[in-house]
Amino acid sequence: MADRLRSRTTATLAGDLVAPHMRLALFLLLAPALLWLLGLIVLPHVDLAVLSLRTRVAPRTYELGFGNYRTFIDEPLYWHTFVRTAVMSIFATVCTLLIAFPAAWYIAKIARGRAKSLLFVMCLIPFWVSETVRTLGWMILLRESGVLPRLLVELGITAKPVELLYHDTTILVGLVYTSMLFMVVPLVSALESLDDSLIEAAYDLGGNGLSILRQIVIPHAAPGIAAGSIIVFMLTLGNYLTPTLLGGKNSLWFTEQIYTQFITRFNWEQGAAFGFLLLFLSTASVWLGLVVTGQKFGDVMRRS
């Protein structure tokens, strides 16, 4: 009892004496991060929220209301683009997962020593070049007069060069390529923590590859899979460059609608509303994904 009393007194004393300095130091240390959060994330969003609720009724006269959101619902092009972006993003995420999983498995469980780090670096290498250059690289490969169509003609597969750009598939290829690393990293860390003896035990007890994958590997890697999928989905949904360059004017990506409203149409109010709709879409999708797979957001973020 006396001990506890004494320790409490010391703690209070220490708190009284040290706390003001400590609190100031802590505040100063956190200041850049807090300023960044406040200045670049909170304030613009508050401003955008206010903006999105203003409707232009006449030049320079605005009215508070949900008019911008109603335009979104009334105009099929807008919500078609919205749904299309969501569906394509989900599809791109699934494709990335399917391609990244075997790669991550190989890096985490099969490759050893130098081969392992080499493979990791190979996933990273594309990021040494800016996204614009990477996407332009794809354009050089895929355009009608590009490398791949000419190769197809040379090999006699097609009679004349075909245009490989400006298809939905092209957009998907570009998105998957851009997102690969963000899926591989959380998957590798999730798979590395899986004890090999669990796989051996399951095999020993009569399991085969498929049942082990379904019952041991995937349940164990689930937080990693969820983390990778969330990151990839958000990156894809908010990607502007890849759909625009690889998809051309047919791409119909929602970020392009936002760009158009802000820059081309100079309708900031409408653009702000679209921006909030996109934020809502990504939040809702992630939440739904977590609920459906029974994951907890905290677990998932700790894994990533």
Partner 1 sequence: MDQDLEVDRVSKRYNAHLAVNALSFAVPHGSFFSILGPSGCGKTTLLRLIAGFLEPDSGDVRIGGHSMRGVSPNRRPVNMVFQNLALFPMMSVGENVGYGLARRDIASTEIRNRVAAMLKRVGLPGAEGKRVDQLSGGQKQRVAIARSLVLEPTLLLLDEPLGALDLKLREHMKIELKQLQADFGTTFVYITHDQSEALVLSDRVAVMSAGRFEQIGTPQELYYAPHTAFVAGFVGANNRLSGTVQRVDGDIIELHTAQGLALHARCTEHVVAGNEVEAFVRPEVVGLARDAAGLATGTPYYTGRIESLLFDGANSTVLVREQPTNTEFRIALPQTGQFADLRESEMIVFGFDPERAISFRGGNDGR
Under the binding rule (CB under 8 A), the answer on residue 216 touching partner 1 is yes
Q: Kindly tell me which residue out of 12, 215, 250, 264 binds partner 1, with binding defined by CB under 8 A.
A: 215
CA distance 182 to 185: 6
Smaller CB distance to partner 1: residue 136 or 290?
290
Q: Kindly tell me which residue out of 152, 202, 213, 241 binds partner 1, with binding defined by CB under 8 A.
A: 202
Smaller CB distance to partner 1: residue 31 or 201?
201
Site size with partner 1, rule: CB under 8 A: 17
Provide φ and ψ at 57, rounded to 5°.
Answer: -100, -35
Under the binding rule (CB under 8 A), the answer on residue 201 touching partner 1 is yes
CA distance 136 to 177: 13
For the segment 72-101, give every residue that binds partner 1 (CB under 8 A).
none
Check residue 163 and report its DSSP letter. Answer: -
Smaller CB distance to partner 1: residue 162 or 198?
198
Q: How far is the CB of 101 from partner 1 (least distance, A)?
A: 18
Smaller CB distance to partner 1: residue 123 or 187?
187
Q: How far is the CB of 190 from partner 1 (least distance, A)?
A: 13
Contacts of 104 (CB under 8 A, 6+ apart): 183, 184, 187, 188, 191
Check residue 65 and report its DSSP letter. Answer: S
Question: Which residues make beta-bridge pairs with 62?
Answer: 56
Binding mask 161-200 for partner 1 (x = CB under 8 A): ----------------------------------x-xx-x
Under the binding rule (CB under 8 A), the answer on residue 210 touching partner 1 is no
Specify the amino acid at residue 221: A
Under the binding rule (CB under 8 A), the answer on residue 145 touching partner 1 is no
Classify the C-alpha dihedral 182-282-277-41 as positive or negative.
Answer: negative
Specify the amino acid at residue 284: A
Q: Which residues bind partner 1 (CB under 8 A)?
A: 195, 197-198, 200-208, 211, 215-216, 219-220
